Structure 1
Amino acid sequence: MVKRVSLYNAVCPVARALDVIGDWWSLLIIRDAFNGTRRFTEFQTGLGIAKGMLATRLRVLTERGILETAPASDGSAYREYVLTEKGSNLFLVIVALRQWGEDYLYRKGEARSSLVETETGSPVPRLELRAKNGRSLDWNNTRVKEANDN
């Protein structure tokens, strides 16, 4: 098995982000944390992930500041995993992945979960990248400015 290379010091922000959250288990753990999952056994049961794998992913996500442990909300001796501010700010990443999946991975009319506003039950609008002046942006009218570009 090839040893995983760390991208933690990469110049590219995408590479650094993937170093922290780039495997599917981590993203699914984060998704479930947004949906209210807090305890180890809840993550393990909901995801069907092996205990050792889950323990490793939760440890890494905690070490990297995505999750933190807190006393159980029910007053028991258990610890719970909660999203930090850094972790909570991954919400748009999860929504973008969800919307991409909705667009390309389901047949028309196929059953799937959906993201709705809590207050109204209305579907969440599509994410859009916009310029400072409000015009729509996509891959062909943006570019990466390298760190050494002037």
Structure 2
Amino acid sequence: MNVTLLSSPSEQPISDERVAEWCRIDTGQDAATIQMLVFSALALVESYLNKTLMQTTFRGQTECRASSYDLPRVPVYDVMSVKVDGVALVRGTDWKVCGDRVVLTALPDACPVIEWIAGFHDVPPNVSNAIALLVSALYDNRTTIDPMTVKAVEWLCAPHRRVTL
């Protein structure tokens, strides 16, 4: 599936005040650096989890006709539309959502386009703590991350990690 980002999250997974507290700096100081580090930590954590943390909208152009499609960006918060040749299929009649998969009731005539929102409604507290820990480590030492910090982040994120078998 070819995936296109339609809209980015409008907020961060962790507040500026909380990041400043973890980094032990005054709120507003080094704001641009802190935002860059939060973005980097978010990317690292999302990569480790194989999940989208903040609600983000995607469009996926499927590459084949099938009766079901696993959506590659998860967790699926909502599926907004499924279209075949520009015509919207009816939710509940033509398709339904089963976990992170869209299931069609009949094989489509062409490859469908699916639009969905992926991400948590609320980022789990231990995951936002992992992001704060990474930001603090990166702020304190911008060249390397201590292996114990990496282990702590993995431990905090482990309950939410998506592993493909």
Q: Which is richer in helix?
A: 1
TM-score, scaled relative to structure 2: 0.25
Higher RCO by CA contacts (8 Å cutoff, separation 6 or greater)? 2
Q: Which is richer in strand?
A: 2
